[in-house]
Structure formats: structure tokens, C-alpha cells
């Protein structure tokens, strides 16, 4: 096993075991050897995070265990993004929420912290947020991007509902809409008319930055 493979595995295990000290040591070693931190986050720590989520869904671990691992993943993400993006302010304003009927917010929390680390102002409404509240808050704070997460197939309809309500209110062109969550796909994005589908936190940052660049060019 070479250095890269060893660190990828160690990163994954550190999340599964909720071992923040080990996770930070992995990051330190990766930096010392000039490894790609984005790849480490996605293919190392990210795989551990996915495995933890799957284990919880199957009843193999308890809620406290899930939360411990998610806290480590959050701290890891913030640290890695601080190296990747730096402390840049005012990249844009993003509202993020887990849709109504869905209590899952771990993935959403990681995306929110990653966006903040990348210099975005993030308004996090939490979980089980009704569409009308999402739109009202977006209007109140004049956000640039509305990002919603749905982790259940039964709550995907809320993302469609958001697109419909924005159109009905004549607000669709005002906001860039981003969707994510386990059951979401690029096909679902196209089907409901959303602007961006992001598979993970790193992609969310890249997509958000690209959307803001396009918005500034149009002004």
C-alpha cells in the first residue's frame, strides 16, 4: 500500500471511528507530502462519512455515534476548505435548508460549513423547512442562491414545489437554485428545472462559485 492509499484509508477510518485527532493527523501528513486535499476529502473522509450514514440507516450504529462522526466530518471539511479556498469573504449569499418532511441534516450541515469556509455568507434554516419559509427568507435577505437538500424519495417533491412556487411568484429568474441529497440526480434537476445539482460539498462550492461568476458577468 503506497502513501496515498494509506492516507485515504486512514481518513475513511477516522470518520467511521469518530477520531478527530487521527483525522487531523491525516490532514497534516497529506499536506506535508503535497497530496491533493480535495481528493482526500472526497475519496477518503467522504467515503467514511457515506459508510457511517449507511450504517445508521441499517441500524448498525446509534444516533450518538452518527452525530460524533458527523462532527468530525464537519471539522475536517472546514479545515481542508480553509487550505483550498482561503479566507475569502463576500463570494455570495446562499440560503440552505433541508426540505419539509425531512429530518436528515448531516449532509446539509457539511455543505453549509464548506460553503462558509469558501467565503460564502450562508443562511442555514435547518431541517423540515416549508417552501414558503424558504422563499420568504430568500427575499428577506436578498440571497443569490437557494440550496435545498432532500434525503428521502418522499420529500423530493418539495424541491419541485419550490421551483413551481418561484415561477408562480415571478421570482424564478432572481435566484439560482441548487439541489442535493442521496435520491437527487442530474436527471431530477432537469426534470424540475433547477439550476444546479451537486453530489457533495466540494461540488457545491465549485458550482456556487461558477454561478456567482456568471451572475457578476451579467450585471
| One domain for residues 26 and 123 | no
| One domain for residues 145 and 179 | yes
| One domain for residues 101 and 184 | yes
* Gap between the Cα atoms of 173 and 183, Å rounded: 26
| One domain for residues 108 and 171 | yes
Q: What is the reported pLDDT for 86?
A: 52
| One domain for residues 33 and 98 | no
Q: Which three cell numbers stand for residue 166?
A: 418561484
Look up the CATH number of the domain holding residue 34.
1.10.1240.10
Look up the CATH number of the domain holding residue 157.
3.40.50.280
State pLDDT tens for residues 153-179: 889 999 999 999 999 999 999 999 999
Q: Domain total for the chain?
A: 2
Report which DSSP code applies to 170.
T
| One domain for residues 138 and 176 | yes
| One domain for residues 97 and 143 | yes
* Gap between the Cα atoms of 89 and 120, Å rounded: 7
Parallel, antiparallel or unpaired: strands 121-124 and 176-180 = unpaired
Burial of 173 (0-12, 13-18, 19+ CB in 10 A): exposed
| One domain for residues 43 and 17 | yes
| One domain for residues 132 and 213 | yes
| One domain for residues 103 and 185 | yes
Domain endpoint, select from 85, 113, 135 = 85
pLDDT per residue as tens, the chain (219 positions): 799 999 999 999 999 999 999 999 999 999 999 998 988 988 898 888 878 877 876 889 887 888 888 889 888 988 887 787 554 456 899 999 999 998 878 788 888 877 876 778 899 999 999 999 999 999 999 999 999 999 888 899 999 999 999 999 999 999 999 999 888 999 999 999 999 999 888 789 889 999 999 888 887
- 10 touches 2 (CB < 8 A): no
Q: What is the reported pLDDT for 87?
A: 45
* Gap between the Cα atoms of 214 and 28, Å rounded: 35
- 181 touches 107 (CB < 8 A): yes
Q: What is the reported pLDDT for 42?
A: 80
Domain region containing 12? 3-85
| 3 state DSSP class of 216 | helix
Domain endpoint, select from 53, 85, 117 = 85
Q: What is the reported pLDDT for 218?
A: 80
> How far is residue 40 from each of residues 19, 45, 85, 147, measured CA to CA in Å?
16, 7, 15, 25
Model-level pTM?
0.70
- 31 touches 3 (CB < 8 A): no
Neighbours of 4 (CB within 10 A): 16
Q: What is the reported pLDDT for 88?
A: 44
Amino acid at each position: 500500500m503506497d502513501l496515498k492509499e494509506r492516507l485515504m484509508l486512514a481518513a475513511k477510518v477516522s470518520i467511521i471511528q469518530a477520531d478527530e485527532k487521527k483525522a487531523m493527523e491525516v490532514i497534516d501528513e497529506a499536506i506535508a507530502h503535497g497530496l491533493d486535499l480535495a481528493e482526500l476529502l472526497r475519496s477518503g473522509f467522504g467515503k467514511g462519512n457515506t459508510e457511517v450514514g449507511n450504517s445508521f440507516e441499517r441500524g448498525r450504529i446509534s444516533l450518538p455515534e452518527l452525530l460524533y462522526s458527523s462532527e468530525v466530518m464537519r471539522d475536517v471539511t472546514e479545515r481542508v476548505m480553509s487550505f483550498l479556498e482561503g479566507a475569502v469573504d463576500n463570494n455570495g449569499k446562499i440560503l440552505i435548508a433541508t426540505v419539509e418532511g425531512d429530518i436528515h441534516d448531516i449532509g446539509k450541515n457539511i455543505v453549509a460549513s464548506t460553503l462558509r469556509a469558501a467565503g460564502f455568507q450562508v443562511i442555514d434554516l435547518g431541517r423540515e423547512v416549508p417552501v414558503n419559509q424558504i422563499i420568504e427568507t430568500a427575499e428577506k435577505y436578498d440571497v443569490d442562491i437557494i440550496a435545498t437538500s432532500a434525503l428521502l424519495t418522499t420529500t423530493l417533491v418539495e424541491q419541485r414545489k419550490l421551483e413551481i412556487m418561484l415561477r408562480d411568484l415571478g421570482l424564478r429568474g432572481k435566484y439560482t437554485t441548487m439541489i442535493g441529497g442521496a435520491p437527487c440526480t442530474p436527471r431530477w434537476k432537469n426534470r424540475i428545472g433547477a439550476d444546479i445539482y451537486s453530489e457533495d460539498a466540494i461540488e457545491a462550492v465549485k458550482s456556487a462559485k461558477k454561478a456567482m461568476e456568471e451572475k457578476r458577468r451579467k450585471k
